[in-house]
Structure 1
Amino acid sequence: MNAIRRFIKMAEETGAKRLKSPPLIGTHNGHFHADEALAVYLLRLLPAYSGSPLIRTRDPAQLATCHTVVDVGGVYDPSLNRYDHHQRTFNTTFPQHDTKLSSAGLVYMHFGKAIIAQHMNLPVDHQDVDTIYNKLYGDYIEALDAHDNGISVYCPKAISNAGLEKRFRDGGINLGSLIGDMNRPGPGEDLDEDALFARASTFIGETFWRKLHAASGAWLPARASVAQAYQSRFDVHPSGKILLFPKSGIPWKEHLYRLEGESGSGTATDSERKVIYVLYPDSSAADANWRVQCVPVTESSFESRKALPETWRGARDSELDAIIATEMDAKKREKIPEGAVFVHASGFIGGHKTKEGALAMAVESLN
């Protein structure tokens, strides 16, 4: 306890001196993890820390010279710029979440809005900043907090009681595991520990940057596009089960599920409000092919609400055209225009050279 008090006193005494130059950031040395690698990167996104040097140590005397310390030191106190989560009394969580924070979550909780506001060129208290702030925590940061604190996505006891087993091992492809691998130099490399950390921090930081760019530049603007398409879906087809987007690259799933849920509070039945297929061009080119994609059961599910016909799956081009034409003749239905491109073997997506053809494929698949 005395060591901690000395640590805090030294930090207070040297604070004014440190702020005359780029604030020194401190974290622990030795084996590094995803959380502090990201925490350091996040800090350096802000102008105040953009030129900050980093010291990696567990020596309290050296850490006391740092303006900001993450993931080491046994102190969580924002007023002292101390962001450690390893103390036994620590139980802080992000608002409206139950996962205990790691150093990544701590730094994000305190500095995330400033980072987002800077990126979006908006005031920190803007509603869009708050929306992205909460989305990125749930979509990205929380999983890193859970990984570092040893928290499973599902309750292990519940999984065991249900008798469920994984079909394959997936732990090696998460960010925590990948950053762990970066503690070792690659073949032919001669990098010291700090250089390896710097590379890992850049790697995981760039994944955050891409998430931020996608959320603010594509996901957020897509809300209006998806809402408009949902409202006009009965103009596309009387069933209201086909959504059409005039351009490609619109992240629609999360927004669609929200709209369906909101419409469920009104008079619409479950069947009436749920969309089955989504149409969109596969690029911005004037002669782009069109896709017909099945809406999955859930956002992360590989199971479709209604897959494209089994007889079409795995076929391409003229072969697919012939299969479709034969079926239409047998059913005495109006033929789908030639120009089918493909249907995936699992039936979750298909393509046609024209919008009219893709729409016809979707309408026939509804039957």
Structure 2
Amino acid sequence: MATPAPAKRMKATPLNIGTHNGHFHADEALAVYMLRLLPEYKDATLTRSRDPAVLEECDIIVDVTGKYDSTKHFDHHQREFAETFSPNHKTKLSSAGLVYKHFARAIINHRLSIEPTSPSSDLIYTKLYNDFIEALDANDNGISAYPSDAPSPLFNEKSISLPSAVGAFNPNWNDPSPSQESEDANFVQASDFIGSVFLRKLDFYGKSWLPARDFVVAAIEKRMEYDDKGRILVFEKSIPWRDHLFTIEEEKGIKGETIYVLYGEGPGKNWRVQAVPVSKDSFESRKALPAAWRGIRDDALSEVTGIPGGVFVHASGFIGGNKSFEGALELARKALEL
């Protein structure tokens, strides 16, 4: 008698993510998107409801139920909630920050193929929170970046118009009442929108910003070749150097020593001279290019500087250009002496 064929293995039921229905915000839209970047939630279904019994059937719940246990429930609306990203942060987390805090390392390592123990993983984890997620947390919790009792902004709020862009996916006040189905579809669109921004940020920090650190280190090691006081750094092309420069200056005990950065615009193209700002977010330069050069271009610039190949100097003096590396280097050296 023939042996019966073994029964086919049943496909595992997809996990389910729960959040509230009704008006939605950027934090839960991003929280849901981030979870779906994890292999285990890649095909997860989504339940949007305020019914506790329905939500408790989900595998993970964000931004609703008034509970936070770091395993299944990730809400921040309860009165006693005071969780922050780290002891060094003051901004209370939203559902986006909660999901990021607990799952972002796995997301980063999976997306960028980084070993969990790599220092690169820690750098990106902290950088992406500071420059993107924290402002969303603050916005959702009604925290100002400029409290009256603080000497400087509490967090970076650039690109914080995203919450209003996500909010625009909700119906207008005078639109017909949406069905649950259409409301859920709008939420998914909003989640995909803010999620795509998150992914671009993550890819930038992992694939562009982080590798640039090695080039900044190398440029600092060679700085004496261009100026006997090490005040000029040279890069062959434009790279994201600013964050790394301030960090590495602190590490090496040379804070404030770099005055100008030179970089090429590409093979056969012009070179730029950029004044280093007093801080990474400042518009004020450590030493702007001379006032007599500002707002002048081409031959007139060559004449006033005495350096052939002049291209321009910005009216504020934070940047200028020359047709050759030699000309740009001479421009920087001369500016140091004026």
How many Å separate the matches in 2 of 1:129 and 1:342?
40
Residue in structure 1 matching 2:145, options 147, 153, 157: 153
Aligned to 2:129: 137
How many Å separate the matches in 2 of 1:127 and 1:148?
30
Partner AA of 2:262 in structure 1? L
Aligned to 1:333: none
Structure-2 change in CA distance of 1:136 and 1:31 (3 Å)? same
- Verify: 1:235 aligned to 2:225, yes or no: yes
Mapping of residues 253-268 of structure 1, within 5 Å: 253-264=242-253
Residue in structure 1 matching 2:80, options 86, 89, 94: 89
TM-score where L is the length of structure 2: 0.87
Secondary structure at the aligned position of 1:342 is classed as strand
- Verify: 1:183 aligned to 2:184, yes or no: no
Asked whether the 8 Å contact 1:277–1:294 carries over to 2, the reply is yes
Shift of 1:172: 9.3
Asked whether the 8 Å contact 2:135–2:160 carries over to 1, the reply is no
How many Å separate the matches in 2 of 1:130 and 1:351?
37
Residue in structure 1 matching 2:302, options 318, 321, 335: 321
Mapping of residues 317-356 of structure 1, within 5 Å: 317-325=298-306, 336=307, 338-356=308-326
Asked whether the 8 Å contact 1:25–1:55 carries over to 2, the reply is yes
Cα deviations by residue, 1:35-89 (Å, 9 ceiling, x for unpaired): 111101101111111111212211112212211110011111233x211111112
Structure-2 change in CA distance of 1:341 and 1:33 (3 Å)? same
Secondary structure at the aligned position of 1:77 is classed as coil
Structure-2 change in CA distance of 1:173 and 1:105 (3 Å)? closer
TM-score where L is the length of structure 1: 0.80
- Verify: 1:120 aligned to 2:112, yes or no: yes
Cα deviations by residue, 1:266-323 (Å, 9 ceiling, x for unpaired): xx6x6xx51110001123xx21211111101110111111111222222222232233
Partner AA of 1:280 in structure 2? Y
Residue in structure 1 matching 2:274, options 275, 288, 293: 293
How many Å separate the matches in 1 of 2:126 and 2:284?
27
Q: Determine what percentage of the aligned residue pairs are the same residue.
A: 54
Residue in structure 2 matching 1:305, options 247, 268, 286: 286
Shift >6 Å, 4+ stretches = none
Q: How many residue pairs end up in the alignment?
A: 317
Mapping of residues 41-80 of structure 1, within 5 Å: 41-79=33-71
Structure-2 change in CA distance of 1:213 and 1:172 (3 Å)? closer
Q: Which has the higher helix share?
A: 1
Aligned to 1:276: 259
Mapping of residues 218-233 of structure 1, within 5 Å: 218-233=208-223
Asked whether the 8 Å contact 1:83–1:103 carries over to 2, the reply is yes
Gaps of 5+ in 1: 1-18, 163-169, 326-335
Secondary structure at the aligned position of 2:107 is classed as helix
How many Å separate the matches in 2 of 1:143 and 1:243?
32
Aligned to 2:4: none
Asked whether the 8 Å contact 1:171–1:177 carries over to 2, the reply is no
Asked whether the 8 Å contact 2:309–2:324 carries over to 1, the reply is yes
